[in-house]
Amino acid sequence: MTAVDQRFAVRVMVTDVWDQVYLAVEPTTTVAQLKSQALTQALKRTQVRPEDYVVKFRGAEVSDESTTLAALGAVANSAFIVLPARRQVVR
């Protein structure tokens, strides 16, 4: 098996823009790297503050973003959600 064979695609919903992006990741990719890539791709901006967002996987917030996707149990087509860390006011 080569390094290319270890890559797989995951889906990331970025709620700020209600857009779903597909990322090719490796099992060693950290949650922080996943979040950064998803925000950059979905928001189309390079200056995004990743600390203002949290990641959810299987309905729970991932508190340690240095965790790898393999340690979380993510597989091909796993779904993640990136949402603002603070609730937004709705009027």
Query: Tens digit of pLDDT for each residue in 22-69?
Result: 999 999 999 999 999 999 999 887 788 889 999 999 999 999 999 999
- Whole-model pTM: value is 0.84
- For residue 32, the SS3 value is helix
Give the 3-state secondary structure of 62-90.
Answer: CCCCCCEHHHHCCCCCCEEEEEECCCCCC
Asked if 31 and 65 count as a contact pair (C-beta separation under 8 A), the reply is yes
Q: Where are the domains of the chain?
A: 4-84
Q: 4-84 has which fold?
A: Ubiquitin-like (UB roll) (3.10.20)
> What's the pLDDT band for 1 if we cut at 50, 70, 90?
very low
**Which pLDDT score is estimated for 88?**
63
